[in-house]
Structure 1
Amino acid sequence: MPVRRTGAPLRLLLSAAAAVFASAAAAVPCPEQQAAIDASLQRIYNEWPLRASSDHPSRYVQNLASRLAADSGRPELMHWKVALVRNLAPNAFSIGNGYAFVTDGALRFVLNESELAAILAHELGHELAGHFCAPKTTTGSGGLFDLFSRPEPEPNRIGVGSLTQVIDPSKEREADDIALSLLWSAGFNPRALLDMALRLPANGPLHYLNAERVRFLERAVLRFPPAKAVSSNEFFAVKRSLETE
């Protein structure tokens, strides 16, 4: 459901959003990454407890993702698919060419629908920025770790099953910047992304990335007027269903 907006004229904010999206000019998908993405997908399907695409939480999250993709103004992103992982650790990430994954723990972590939309908008931001069109990382996974982090022995790296993904702070900030404009365009509160960053754990070897992200978001959200998030009844129904499983 839309947020209640006040302040700057909507046309100015939409112009700002258009400028951000225009800067993300890379083509989607990226054919040169398809082999690496296919390999990552196969490992995910083999290793991870994915929810069926037909269950209620999966359908709800996919519909929300499709709404964000439609409001991005990039019709080629309408193929974007989101799968839910039966894991209680809050986590969300992309592997490129329209594939994103969100854990049950992330749905439990969010406090409102704008925060869930912010997770998805950040993943879509990576696609819009063409981050998967860059040369493959040394990990060989072809993916990015995005919204959440947990302590790992090696700085800047996150283990997800047998996949190891490298955190690139500059790409995370770029995806965040695109996500803020996308959230506003779709009728969600952009501050939700900052609100989540403020709640992330500040300990462990990756804490400096969280602090850096918070500082960036504190500045970036100032270009949007205050807005009040309104969550749908379906959002709360999905939250309740997860808490009773």
Structure 2
Amino acid sequence: MKKRALYPFLAAVALSGALLSGCETMPNVGQMGNLASALGGGGGGGGGGSGMANGIQDVIGGASAAFKDYSPQEQHALGQEFSSVLLGARPLLRNDMAQRYVNQIGWWVALQAEPPKDKDGRAIQFAWRFGIIDSDAVNAYATPGGYVFVTVGLLRQLKNEAELAGVLAHEVAHVVRGHYLAALKKGGWAQIAGGIIQTQTSNGAMTAAMVNAVRNLYAKGLDQSDEFDADRQALLYAARAGYRADGLPSVLKMYAASGSGSDVNFQMLFSTHPNPAERASKLEPLLTSKFASAANVTNEARYLAVRRKL
């Protein structure tokens, strides 16, 4: 798909997904009980409460600093250009029904995350866009500014909507926690990021160095602490949305049982993330304590009806 055709298409499916949420049956958030502080609650989706692992304050501090470096408009510009690089390898799936469905679930989950603050203390509202990439690889991606993608290969492996919600919640967490912005700063790519923003705002073309920098960012992956942080937040967002909290842990167990670093469809996932069995193990105590009373909604039949058409 050509770059200039990408954004109107994603905007259209996102709008359709948002409108559909009013006429489709979504999980009942009234079943949730008091999970607002399940992970130690507070601004940005969680503080340093008892449910958090050691080092989480460092993750939050790094994200807060990164948000101060980029305005919401600059994050949106980065997101558009990062998306164009991701979709340069494989295009969006040409299936409007499936795209609308993923947008619907994604928007609902994203509504459960507290927005971060900009440098002036104002809440950042993301223009969320969700899309399915036409690739057999098993993976999901996010960009600054609120673009989130899942692959067809991953969707074919999932068993229900709660698992999809868990995956999308993990990617939403990367955005609202500023993980990619922090990675740009830690990787010494601030100058490249500035060039990408300037290119997008001036309607220019990215240089080879810019494209390679974005590719390298995704090939290297985020810090392990960021991935574990996104896993924990995913439980919270999915549970707040009314889904079974164990959706993401179920997916992680599937990764551990079905994939490996030598499987071409799992290679990038395994090379850029911590061991999936370890990730699932770290979440188990939360499932049996903080989230033990969460809802039991999976919407399996609805998910499988969509999966059959992929």
Which TM-score tier does this pair reach, normalised by the shorter chain?
Answer: 0.7 to 0.9
The whole-number CA distance in structure 2 between the counterparts of 1:46 and 1:84 is 14
Please, which of 79, 83, 92 is the counterpart of residue 140 of structure 2?
A: 92
Letter of the aligned partner of 1:46 in structure 2?
G
The whole-number CA distance in structure 1 between the counterparts of 2:141 and 2:69 is 17
Work out whether 1:164 is the aligned partner of 2:188: no
TM-score (normalised: structure 2): 0.60
Work out whether 1:21 is the aligned partner of 2:45: yes
Unaligned regions of 5+ residues in structure 2, if any? Answer: 1-25, 48-59, 116-122, 194-213, 262-269
Query: Which residue of 1 is the match for residue 106 of structure 2?
Result: 65
Query: Which residue of 1 is the match for residue 162 of structure 2?
Result: 114
**1:3, distance to aligned residue in structure 2 (A):** 6.9
TM-score (normalised: structure 1): 0.75
Query: Which residue of 1 is the match for residue 292 of structure 2?
Result: 225
Letter of the aligned partner of 1:83 in structure 2?
G
Q: Which one has a bigger Cα radius of gyration?
A: 2
Deviates more, 1:74-83 or 1:161-170: 161-170
Query: Which residue of 2 is the match for residue 236 of structure 1?
Result: 304
- Residues 200 and 69 (structure 1), Cα distance of their counterparts in 2 relative to 1, 3 Å cut: same
The whole-number CA distance in structure 2 between the counterparts of 1:100 and 1:71 is 16
Equivalent runs, 1:126-145 vs 2, <5 Å: 126-136=174-184, 138=187
Q: Give me the CA root mean square deviation.
A: 3.5
Size of the aligned set, in residue pairs, is 222
Please, which of 157, 162, 183 is the counterpart of residue 238 of structure 2?
A: 183
- Residues 139 and 64 (structure 1), Cα distance of their counterparts in 2 relative to 1, 3 Å cut: farther
Letter of the aligned partner of 1:111 in structure 2?
K
Give the % identical residues. Answer: 29
Deviates more, 1:113-122 or 1:24-33: 24-33
Instruction: Give the structure with the higher percent strand.
Output: 1
- Residues 104 and 218 (structure 1), Cα distance of their counterparts in 2 relative to 1, 3 Å cut: same
Is the contact made by 2:224 and 2:274 (CA closer than 8 Å) also made in structure 1? no
Please, which of 237, 251, 254 is the counterpart of residue 196 of structure 1?
A: 251
The whole-number CA distance in structure 1 between the counterparts of 2:124 and 2:177 is 14
Work out whether 1:210 is the aligned partner of 2:276: yes
- Residues 171 and 100 (structure 1), Cα distance of their counterparts in 2 relative to 1, 3 Å cut: same
Is the contact made by 2:109 and 2:169 (CA closer than 8 Å) also made in structure 1? yes
The whole-number CA distance in structure 1 between the counterparts of 2:233 and 2:100 is 24
